[in-house]
Each structure stands twice: as C-alpha cells, then as structure tokens.
Homo-oligomer: A and B are copies of this chain.
Amino acid sequence: MSETLHSTLIRKLDQSGFLTDIDRATLMRLTPRSRPVAARVDLIVEGDRPEYVHVVLDGFACRYKILAGGKRQIMALLVPGDFCDLHVAILGEMDHCIGTLTPCTVAQVPRRTIEELTDHHPRINRALWWATLTDEGVLREWLANVGQREAIQQLAHLFCELHLRLLSVGLADADGYDMPLRQPDLADILGLTSVHVNRVLQELRVAGLIVLRSRRLQIPNLAGLRAYCGFNPNYLHLTPRVGEAEVTLTPGA
C-alpha cells in the first residue's frame, strides 16, 4: 500500500503550484531510504538534533508534547506526504516529539539534502515554504478549535479537516475514510478526556452526522457536518479541485 518517496513527495509539493518539470526531476534524484515503524513508537523526541528529515509515506504519526503533570497534547497529525521535522534543518533542536499512532512507513532525507534544495532551487524552496505555512494554518485552526468550540463541534471539525486532507492524498472518498485513531488519541488532539470523547461521539452518531465503526468513518451528510461546526476549508490552502464539490458554508450552531 505504501508508495515511494518520490511519488509521495512530488504529489505533496505539487499542490503548492510552484514546481516545474525540472524541479520534479530534481526531486526524482533523491535517494529514497525508508523503513517500517510500529505503532506507538517515537521517531524523534524533544531535544534531539536529528540528521534526517522524515516524511510519512504510510500510516498516521503525530507531533506531541508531554507537559509537566504527564498530560499529552497532540499538536499535529502527520498523514502520508507530510514532513515530520523540516524544522530541524533550520532550528537544530526539536522542541517537541514525533511518534507514530499507527504502523507507518517513513522515509528519511538527510538534512544536508534539504539545505541544498532550499539554497539552490528557488521553486522547491517555495514549495517547502508552502508546506510549512499550510501546516501552520492547520495549527492555528486547531488552536481556535480547542480554545473556542464545544467538544461536539471540535470533533466534527476535526473529522471535516481529516476528510479533506485525506482526500488530497487519495486516502478518502467522497463520503468517508479509514479512521485508525483511538479515542484517547482524539482526546489528546482536542484537549478533552477520552471519556468525554466517547460520549460526544455518541451524540454525533445519534444526530446522524457520522457513522463510525470498525475503524471506518462514514459521513452520510457532508454539508450537514460542515455546517454543524462552521467548517471553512480555506486554511488548508488546497487547490480548488480537491473535494470542493459541495461545500456549503452555513454558519454552524
């Protein structure tokens, strides 16, 4: 199921709209080196200064921090195509951890290779900027989600976001996708307890907004779910063609 570094990376960076054939050829010359990683394994921990930048080829990983008190906050979901740690190419030391949530395939690119790309290939540099800035857009939306929305709308919003992100990499279809995250993972994304996530999931089911069983999320009424949480996909900066079929933006409850 897992794809190559080349196809994954090119599909991802092509979404920026900056690449030319020359750039794609440059990316094709990268020497892929990938490895399987089990679920719930750390790829990088806070304080590391890794020599490689990681790209997820298959599975779900996440950025997270453990705070004093032992609570975990997940600060990003990393799905196939996402860079785990472009940061370290610039900042040196990691200020958070990266771990798998499901079994993953992960590719490694030497830090020097990234530096070479940003220094000498302006359009690839811009495409990498684009990837970083869209990540930041997602992060901002998550902050708004956790800070302002009620639990039930938080969950609905997360499901809407994942739907579009997975669509853009061919891992979802119009009305659903595989949802391998467990309830405690969802809880640590949203700043809730897993108990409350459980109760709220049931509310969403009863409202007919989702069908979630055996690790598969079905969305019977996409427009309804989006309206319910006030979902506006602009922060993902996707090309218009990705799953924009019938976005109805009625202000949510």
Contact = CB atoms under 8 A, between A and B. Distances in A.
Kindly report how many copies of this chain are found in the complex they form together.
2
A171 B71 CA distance: 33
A133 B91 contact: yes
Interface in A130-144: 130, 132-137, 139-144
A68 B149 CA distance: 9
Contact of A143 (B86, B92, B119, B142): B142
Interface stretch (A24-32, A51-59, A121-129): A121-129
Interface in A64-96: 65, 67-69, 71-73, 75-76, 86-87, 90-93, 95-96
B191 A147 contact: yes
Contacts of A90: 126, 129-130, 133
Interface stretch (A3-11, A203-211, A230-238): A230-238
A148 B230 contact: no
A118 interface: yes
Contacts of A67: 144, 148-149, 230
A251 interface: yes
A165 interface: no
A46 B234 CA distance: 9
A125 B117 CA distance: 12
Given A149-B67, A190-B147, A252-B68, A234 B95 contact: yes
A140 B96 contact: yes
A120 B47 CA distance: 32
A163 interface: no
Which of A73, A149, A190 gathers the greatest number of chain B CB atoms within 10 Å?
A: A73
Nearest to A118: B125
A133 B139 CA distance: 12
Which of A130, A134, A135, A235 gathers the greatest number of chain B CB atoms within 10 Å?
A: A235
Which of A71, A95, A139, A147 gathers the greatest number of chain B CB atoms within 10 Å?
A: A147
Contact of A91 (B75, B86, B130, B148): B130
Contacts of A72: 148
A146 interface: yes
23 contacts: A65-B141, A67-B149, A69-B251, A75-B144, A91-B130, A91-B137, A91-B237, A92-B237, A95-B140, A95-B234, A96-B235, A118-B125, A118-B126, A120-B122, A129-B129, A132-B132, A132-B133, A142-B143, A143-B143, A146-B146, A146-B191, A147-B190, A147-B191
